[in-house]
Amino acid sequence: MAEVEPNNSHQNKEISNNKKKHLPKYAQFLLTGIAGAAIGAGLTFGIMEVKELKSPFYQVEKVYEQLQGSYYKKVSPQTLRQGAINGMLNSLNDPFSEGLSGANQEQVNNILEGSSFGGVGIQMAVRNNKVVVDSIVADSPASKSTIKPGDEIVAVNNKKVSAAQFSKVAPLVRGKIGTKVTLKLRRANSTFNVTLKRARISQSSLTKRTEGNATIITITQFDVNTAKDLKSALKSINTKKYPKLIIDLQDNPGGAMDAALKSASYFLSNNKIIMQYQDRKQKEVIRSDKKLSGGYHTNLKPIILINANTASASEIFTAALVQNHRAVSVGQTSYGKGTVQEVGQTQDSEYKYTIAKWLTPNGTWINQKGLKPTYPVPESSLAKLPQFQSMSILKKSMTGVDVATLQQYLTALGYMPKYVTGVFDDETKNAVIEFQKAHGLTADGIVNGQVQAQLYLAVAQKLQDDNSALKKAMSLNLKDMED
Q: What is the pTM of this model?
A: 0.74
Are 324 and 375 part of one and the same domain?
Answer: yes
Q: Tell me the C-alpha distance between 101 and 114, whole Å.
A: 17
What confidence tier does 174 reach under pLDDT thresholds 50, 70, 90? very high
* Dihedral angle sign, alpha carbons of residues 352, 1, 334, 282: positive
Mean pLDDT of 52-80: 86
> What integer pLDDT is reported at residue 37 of this predicted model?
32
Are 259 and 159 part of one and the same domain?
Answer: no
Mean pLDDT of 198-203: 88
> What integer pLDDT is reported at residue 56 of this predicted model?
76
Q: Which residues, at least 6 apart from 16, have a Cβ–Cβ distance to it below 8 Å? A: 344, 345, 346
E-state strands within 28-106 = 29-32, 98-100
Exposed/middle/buried for 291, CB within 10 Å: 0-12, 13-18, 19+?
exposed
Give residue 41's region: left, alpha or beta (phi > 0; psi -120 to 50).
beta
> What integer pLDDT is reported at residue 479 of this predicted model?
73
H-run or E-run covering 60? helix 58-70
Are 373 and 256 part of one and the same domain?
Answer: yes
Which residue type sits at 301? K
Half-sphere exposure of 246 (CA within 13 A, CB side): 26
**Is there a domain that residue 77 lies in?**
no
Do residues 149 and 211 make contact, with C-beta atoms less than 8 angstroms apart? no
> What integer pLDDT is reported at residue 86 of this predicted model?
92
User: What is the full DSSP assignment across 442-455?
Assistant: --SS-B-HHHHHHH
Give residue 262's region: left, alpha or beta (phi > 0; psi -120 to 50).
alpha
What confidence tier does 27 reach under pLDDT thresholds 50, 70, 90? low
User: What is the full DSSP assignment across 238-277?
Assistant: -TTT--EEEEE-TT--EEEHHHHHHHHHTTS-TT-EEEEE
**Is there a domain that residue 64 lies in?**
no
Give Cα 433 to chain centroid, integer Å. 33
Do residues 217 and 246 make contact, with C-beta atoms less than 8 angstroms apart? yes
Are 251 and 169 part of one and the same domain?
Answer: no
**Is there a domain that residue 210 lies in?**
yes
pLDDT > 70? residue 407:
yes
**Is there a domain that residue 436 lies in?**
yes
Are 214 and 299 part of one and the same domain?
Answer: yes
Mean pLDDT of 169-182: 95
Are 154 and 229 part of one and the same domain?
Answer: no
**Is there a domain that residue 83 lies in?**
no
Give residue 240's region: left, alpha or beta (phi > 0; psi -120 to 50).
alpha
What confidence tier does 431 reach under pLDDT thresholds 50, 70, 90? very high
pLDDT digits (tens, 9 = 90+) for 213-236: 999 999 999 998 999 999 999 999
Are 266 and 292 part of one and the same domain?
Answer: yes
Lowest mean pLDDT among 3-17, 284-298, 316-330, 357-371: 3-17
Are 376 and 398 part of one and the same domain?
Answer: no
Are 254 and 374 part of one and the same domain?
Answer: yes
Are 214 and 331 part of one and the same domain?
Answer: yes
What confidence tier does 193 reach under pLDDT thresholds 50, 70, 90? very high
> What integer pLDDT is reported at residue 461 of this predicted model?
85
Mean pLDDT of 41-61: 55
pLDDT > 50? residue 261:
yes
> What integer pLDDT is reported at residue 165 of this predicted model?
82
> What integer pLDDT is reported at residue 383 of this predicted model?
87
Q: Tell me the C-alpha distance between 164 and 413, whole Å.
A: 14
Q: Which of 160-169, 277-286, 316-325 has the highest mean pLDDT?
A: 316-325
**Is there a domain that residue 314 lies in?**
yes
Which of these three, 202, 230, 258, is where a domain ends?
202
Residue 237's domain comprises 206-337+367-380
User: What is the full DSSP assignment across 401-431?
Assistant: HHHHHHHHHHHHTTSS-S---SB--HHHHHH
Do residues 137 and 161 make contact, with C-beta atoms less than 8 angstroms apart? no
CATH of the domain at 296: 3.90.226.10
Are 245 and 331 part of one and the same domain?
Answer: yes
What is the count of structural domains for the chain? 3
CA distances from 33 to 111, 249, 334, 354, 459 (A): 13, 13, 11, 12, 23
Which of these three, 350, 380, 410, is where a domain ends?
380
> What integer pLDDT is reported at residue 399 of this predicted model?
95
Q: What are phi and psi of 262, to 5 degrees?
A: -65, -45
Residue 345, SS3 per DSSP: strand
> What integer pLDDT is reported at residue 481 of this predicted model?
66
**Is there a domain that residue 16 lies in?**
no
pLDDT digits (tens, 9 = 90+) for 434-459: 999 998 899 999 999 999 999 998 99
> What integer pLDDT is reported at residue 236 of this predicted model?
94
Are 305 and 278 part of one and the same domain?
Answer: yes
Q: Tell me the C-alpha distance between 321 and 151, whole Å.
A: 35
What confidence tier does 5 reach under pLDDT thresholds 50, 70, 90? very low
**Is there a domain that residue 255 lies in?**
yes
Mean pLDDT of 13-22: 35
CATH of the domain at 438: 1.10.101.10
Average pLDDT score over the chain: 87
> What integer pLDDT is reported at residue 38 of this predicted model?
29
> What integer pLDDT is reported at residue 52 of this predicted model?
46
Considering only residues 316 and 136, tell me which one the structure prediction assigns the higher pLDDT: 316
Q: Tell me the C-alpha distance between 185 and 190, whole Å.
A: 8
> What integer pLDDT is reported at residue 170 of this predicted model?
92
pLDDT > 70? residue 100:
yes
Q: Which residues, at least 6 apart from 215, have a Cβ–Cβ distance to it below 8 Å? A: 208, 209, 237, 242, 244, 245, 246
Considering only residues 107 and 336, tell me which one the structure prediction assigns the higher pLDDT: 336
CATH of the domain at 198: 2.30.42.10
What confidence tier does 419 reach under pLDDT thresholds 50, 70, 90? confident
pLDDT > 70? residue 188:
yes
